[in-house]
Structure 1
Amino acid sequence: MPSRVGVVTFPGSLDDRDALRAVGAAGGEAVPLWHADPWLHDVDAVILPGGFSYGDYLRCGAIARFAPAMQSIVDGARQGMPVLGVCNGFQVLCEAHLLPGALIRNAQRKFVCRDQVLRIENNRTRWTSGYAAGQDVVIPLKNGEGGYVADERTLDELEATGRVVARYLGDDPNGSYRRIAGITNEAGNVVGLMPHPEHAIDPLTGPSADGLAFFRSVLGVPA
């Protein structure tokens, strides 16, 4: 099972340190990775953290997709390496075509920052095996361009193949089609998630510890 988990820092990343802390809390070895370094330092898995990579210029995640580290990550992901993209990291995964669809400006045209109830719908990925299928969790959500969109054919395929990882419950936070909060690729090793599990690893510093299982799952640590 993976033990060394790398966290990429792009110019404008905000949650890289939180992700490194979450990996350590889950029992893994957290390895900082720099966006300009194509060598992944022999990590077993990678996290693309939240923030505003390259200032969100051009389009969220569009410039980060061309960072030297990303080519190595794309190659590794296609060979089965676990990759988790959180918020801006989800946007980068879509821009890199590791996941389908795109993230656009919230339907309310306002930045959303709140504790969000999610339902984990797919617990068969490398990042969600520590959850029960249908489990409800509370994880912080903070984004201005978090609305997940895709064409109907893609949405139907995601639903039919069980690739919707998590779905928003309660009030609609950002206008995501079919209330999708996270998806996975066909192999289940690449996951994109708009909410921030790294901010929910300890009730002392977050609304719950519900996010910790994302990091324990990839490490093979029991929940």
Structure 2
Amino acid sequence: MKYKRILLKLSGESLMGDKQYGIDSDRVLQYAQDIKAVHDTGLEIAIVIGGGNIFRGLSAEKGGMDRVQADYMGMLATVINSMALQDALEKTGVKTRLMTAIKMEQICEPFIRRRAVRHLEKRRIVIFGAGTGNPYFTTDTAASLRAIEINADAVLKGTRVDGIYTADPEKDPTATKYENITFQEVYDNNLNVMDMTAFTLCQENKLPIIVFDMNKAGNFMRIANGDSIGTLVKG
């Protein structure tokens, strides 16, 4: 395998499948099967999931809710998604651990860096919930931070789009895809890859990002094997 340890970032919206909100059990099962197949090769996998399919703090703030309160609600939404994926993974026979930045002892472990690394070394998939545990930070930032803390080789951002484009391919049919791009080129072209805090963390720590289509079965395995799909951000 090209990597020894990776962090997979999934958006909350990706769990909706074709639904308007909530969790599509078929989509979660597909993800679990793809993740298990890669895990069976020996790759160590950590996962961060967003919560936008259940609750989005920024949208609530626009509706008049206190931003801090809204962000904490969004963190709880990520825990619900994490529990759903944990259940699907364990039904495929994979051992997992859910660790959160907010203590919830009845359902998960508190995030402790050394313990998380030890779980990975013991061949458990580790799911990080509740973001960073702080308001004003996105799950993209949580993914970058956790990846750096556990010494991951790359952040793999699974989306419904097969890479980074010059414009939104769902809105602009003339948009062209980047196969490889540097961090500076992303800045210069104002491309929407991650929020700026998350992106800067990866750049400063020389952590490559790969954006790819997670909804296509088998793509995660191809990425793990080093196939050139999606878009690689480095340098």
TM-score interval, normalised by the smaller of the two chains: 0.3 to 0.5
TM-score (norm 2): 0.34
Q: Which structure shows the higher strand fraction?
A: 1
Q: Which structure shows the higher helix fraction?
A: 2
Which one has the largest radius of gyration?
A: 2
TM-score (norm 1): 0.35
